[in-house]
Amino acid sequence: MAAAASAHPVAAPRVGLLYDERMCAHATPDGEDHPENPERLRAIWRKLNAEGVASRCVVLKAKEAEDKYIAAVHSQSHVKLMKEISSKKYDASRNKIARRFNSIYFNKGSSESAVLAAGSVIDVAEKVAAGELTSAIALVRPPGHHAEHNEAMGFCLFNNVAVAANYLLNERPDLGIKKILIVDWDVHHGNATQKMFYKDPRVLFFSVHRFDYGSFYPSEGDASHCFIGEEAGKGYNINVPWEHGKCGDADYIAAWEHVLLPVTEAFDPDMIMVSAGFDAALGDPLGGCCITPNGYALLLTKLLGFAQGRIVMALEGGYNLRSIANSVFACAKVLLGDKFTFNSPEMQPFESTWRVIQAVRDELKTCWPVLSSKLPHNVSLRIKPSPSELFASSDSESESEDVYEFSGAVESINVIQVADDGISEHLSKMKLDEDNLALKTGSSCSTAEQHPTDSVEVHNNASVVLSKRISDLSLAWRSDLSIIHVWYASFGSNMWKPRFLCYIQGGKAEGMSIPCCGSRDTSSPRGTVWKTVPHRLLFGRSSTPCWGSGGVAFLNPEINYNEQSYVCMYKITLEQFNDILFQENRLVLEDSKDGNVVYPDSPLIGSSEMEFMSTNKAINLEPIKGSWYSNVLYLGNEDGLPILTMTCPSSDIELFKTGELPLVPPSKTYAATLIKGLVEGKQLDPDEAANYISSAAASGL
Ligand code: Q9C
Ligand code: ZN
């Protein structure tokens, strides 16, 4: 071309933009509201047309994937089921089958949408690889990165990006794509993509996601930074797991600068595929993060320098219609070569971001020497969100899935905070209570005088009846803490509910040699939820008054993502949690003369201790140091409420390691109690439970 000789004309990039109304056919069966709905695609498409961006792109229609290409990353039976689920044959059973999966719905349009979504990403990837397109954006749904080899999950039916990457690497060697970088910036971990290429060094999988210590969807430990790939794939899997929500442009850019970009430079991919969820966007109802459209544009711009600009973006999540439309619009302009300026009034990452990035680099530096250098140390950092913000946002999705209507970014953020800011609501109530403190204390004194004792019938053992007397002046903190709910996570005998209830209602359950006095507030827990936590279960101590000789359970306060310990969580008040702490640490005094019991006058965990824990993950209770369970750990949260447990201090773990404190297997009765808990809680069958306990008891620290 003559133009080549002239001063500059650089050919305009050919940017593929794939949109097809047929992928709007997948919807909830009876039109129920759902965040992953057809309007998502339409909102983006409308925006790109209204802004004149679509007409500057090469617009493509969707294309069906051939079965064999999907079956290269999914099982045959999964492909068959997903392809048939929309047929008449499944009319009667479709909803029931959907319920077998985690967060999945199907309708008559699901099969076709899913096959088109996978085929579309194949198609644009092939065109970019062949040089027909410079780069591309595939507006597809259902999304893909949670869809496992043999399982639909998390709104995803087929793993579109994995299908396309596999296609290029294994079916089209002629196109010369030998190494692919997958950047998964969806707010959720790309669990399935990680597994599909875990041992494959041709695919570098990078996922940055909310982790919240393992409590953010999909809530598996393998989203942690310790999962770096296996065998030949070791080093080719990188997770950047945020500790909390509210991460934004500065945090993501820091992850780019200090992890992704240096590794990408060294890896030198032939193509970059972006699992482009926009649920980390400001305003997203599920994500609770705050990337701006400009932030996305900058993240994408920084990738354009690699793989000769061969970038394929495939839509994953993203549930605020305005946020996703604006974000995709910003990305499209980057691919089209438009200049933009990034205004960063405050570009400060969180202090936790620095910690996460350092941990990722430490884990990977032997694989990627470029990560061994020291991070700059004089960066100014934002301190983490306040505890009320943190607790409220850390699992924003569970309570805010109904907040996905077409609302402006900022409005919707406010809606979310009001909607699920549980703790701050409690804190503001507490402030009110504090104002009335004098009055309340006075009145509770007189009330207490009128009812000096409070008899409680002991459950599980009618022969023992204890009465308790609450120290008169102690009532003020109790009423304050009685309106705050927390999850008490039990990992020992309290996993068995009847035994746990002894701490609430008093008495003893089978296997216990002495009764408990119970809590002041004897109301039953408001919920029970099981989960696993990345902490090591151990057994130590030579005997206990309640269980006789043998060790009892402790949780190593240190996080270890190679460990999965079961916890049974009870939703109780912070007042009850304190009463359990008192009992665990033998702080409830029994008057030998009248059999009354006396509780300590002040709580061990009040609101300032809660605040301390949200920053420090744990609190060593100075007033009871030297006691066995003097360490209260914050294990993340569930439904917007903090998860707390009590265990030994880290200093005891050191003594267990050196043998100065004995590691001792549990007695038969004690172990049987734990096994009953795990079995009745439907976590393990009896053999598995026994193995779980004995292997925790057998392996040294
Ligand atoms: N409490 C994507 O963004 N949430 N999937 C389940 C249960 C599922 C998200 C909440 C979120 C799936 C592609
Ligand atoms: Zn997502």
258 is catalytic: no
Place of tokens 């965040």: 35
For the segment 520-544, what is each residue's pLDDT rounded down to a tens digit? 999 999 999 999 999 999 999 888 8
CA distances from 576 to 86, 485, 498, 599 (A): 50, 9, 16, 12
Average pLDDT, the chain: 86
What is the number of the ligand 1 atom nearest to the C-alpha of 186?
Answer: 3
- What pLDDT shows up at residue 623? 84
pLDDT (tens digit per residue) in 467-521: 344 444 557 889 899 999 999 999 999 999 999 999 999 999 999 998 999 999 9
Ligand 1 binding site (Cβ under 6 Å of any ligand atom): 103, 143, 146, 154-156, 186, 188, 217, 277, 279, 316-317, 397-398
Whether the per-residue pLDDT at 4 is higher than 70: the answer is no
For 196-203, what is the mean pLDDT?
98
Q: For residue 378, what pLDDT is reported?
A: 63
- Kindly tell me if the per-residue pLDDT of 405 is higher than 80: no
Q: Among 553-557, 691-695, 697-701, whose mean pLDDT is lowest?
A: 697-701
Q: 633: helix, coil or strand?
A: strand
d(Cα 272, Cα 268) in Å, to the nearest integer?
10
The residue whose C-alpha atom lies closest to atom 3 belonging to ligand 1 is: 317
- pLDDT the model gives residue 387: 55
What's the burial of 383, exposed, middle or buried (CB within 10 Å: 0-12/13-18/19+)?
Answer: exposed
Q: Give the Å distance between the CA of 664 and the centre of ligand 1.
A: 41
pLDDT at residue 10 in the model? 74
Buried-state track 295-316, b at ≥16 Cβ within 10 A, e below 16: bbbbbbebbbebbebbbbbbbb
Which pLDDT belongs to residue 375? 86
- Lowest-confidence range among 87-91, 213-217, 360-364, 646-650? 213-217
pLDDT in tens, 448-470: 222 222 222 233 332 233 334 44
0.75 surpassed by pTM: no
Quick one: tokens of 199?
A: 């041992």
| Closest ligand by atom to 208 CA | 2
List the catalytic residue out of 146, 188, 189, 426.
146
Nearest CA to ligand 1 atom 2: 317
Q: Which one, of 182, 268, 272, lies nearest residue 229 by Cα? A: 182
In percent, the amount of the chain with pLDDT more than 70 equals 84
Query: Is the torsion defined by CA of 487, 492, 495, 501 positive or negative?
Result: negative
**Cα Dmax for the chain:** 107
Whole-number pLDDT of residue 464: 31
Q: Measured in whole angstroms, how far is the alpha carbon of residue 603 from the centre of its chain?
A: 30
Tell me: pLDDT of 431 over 80: no
What are the C-alpha distances in Å from 67 to residues 71, 83, 107, 123?
Answer: 6, 9, 20, 14
The pLDDT score that the predictor gives to residue 87 is: 98
3-class secondary-structure state, position 559: strand
Over range 378-403, report the average pLDDT.
52
Structure tokens at 37: 């709905």
What is the reported pLDDT for 213? 86
E strand or H helix that includes residue 644: strand 641-647
Q: What is the pLDDT of residues 255-289, one digit of tens each?
A: 999 999 999 999 999 999 999 999 999 999 999 99
Compute the CA torsion angle 214, 217, 220, 225 (nearest 10 deg).
-60
Q: Which atom of ligand 1 lies closest to the CA of 187?
A: 3
Residue nearest to atom 8 of ligand 1 (CA): 154
pLDDT, tens only, 621-675: 988 888 889 999 999 888 889 999 999 999 999 999 998 888 999 999 999 999 9
According to DSSP, residue 182 is labeled E
